[in-house]
Amino acid sequence: MTESPTTRILIVDEHLLFREGLKRMLEDEPGFAVVANASEPGEAVRATQEWKPDVLIAGLSGRPLVRMMQMLRRLPANRHPVLTLVLTTTAEATRMVEVLQLGAAGIVLRESSSQQLLKSIRRVLIDRYPMEGRPPTGVFDALQDSAAAFEPAPGARRFGLTARELDIVAAVARGESNRTIARRFSIAEVTVKHHLTRIFDKTSVLSRLELAVLAINHELT
């Protein structure tokens, strides 16, 4: 039997105790290996080049906040691509959107459980956009406000969505409910649900929020 490949992880956070605790938790999980950790963003960029991790878990809080955002801007220039999962103490919608626009693959609130974090790591590895924890107020509005200025990711695609499905994706990105979508397109709510089931299947997302993030990232709105 062929063994599953090990996911190589780099941790960056200003707090040593947090890094050590997260390292122990991750290495207790089969298939994960913490190859390095860093206390500040510049060190993390260098460690990414040296250790070539698959996933970078970045603590976005405290004094290094501005430098952490700068790190997110610098990472795409690396020869070795890395998926960045941001751990944050705030659910501020505009901050989350900014982090996603800078290339983060997902966001996890620090108050989330260890199981939520592990699930998020696995999901970013299959091209999803997890945002675990308490749904942030206003994130749909912030996503919509940013859509006009947002530069889609390289290789943006349509996922085989039909014209009607794209209309519904855009409505979801605006934060509209199933009832509002049904009224907008003069269809039954159950039909909206059927469309969303197919959309979720085609795009491999698990929630309306993930769909909204993916819609902005791939210019589907």
Going from N- to C-terminal start, the domains of the chain cover 7-132, 139-217
| Total-model pTM | 0.68
The region of weakest confidence among 31-40, 56-65, 111-120 is 56-65
Query: Which secondary structure element, helix H or strand E, spans residue 56, and what is its range?
Result: strand 55-60
Report which of residues 88 and 152 the model is more confident about.
Answer: 88
pLDDT band at 130 (very low <50, low <70, confident <90, very high): low
**Same fold for the domain at 7-132 and the one at 139-217?**
yes
Q: What spatial distance separates the first Cα and last Cα of the chain, rounded to whole Å?
A: 44
Give the tokens for residue 64.
């290094």
Give the tokens for residue 160.
């085989």
CATH fourth-level superfamily of 139-217: Response regulator (3.40.50.2300)
Contact partners, residue 180, CB within 8 Å, separation at least 6: 171
pLDDT band at 154 (very low <50, low <70, confident <90, very high): very low
Residue 127 and residue 188: Cα distance in Å, rounded?
31
Select 7-132's CATH number: 3.20.20.70, 3.40.50.300, 3.40.50.1860, 3.40.50.2300: 3.40.50.2300
Identify the three-state secondary structure at position 143: helix
Chain segment 60-93, per-residue pLDDT in tens: 776 556 777 778 777 766 667 788 898 887 666 6
C-alpha torsion sign, points 51, 72, 60, 173: negative
Half-sphere exposure of 119 (CA within 13 A, CB side): 11
Mean pLDDT, residues 185-207: 89
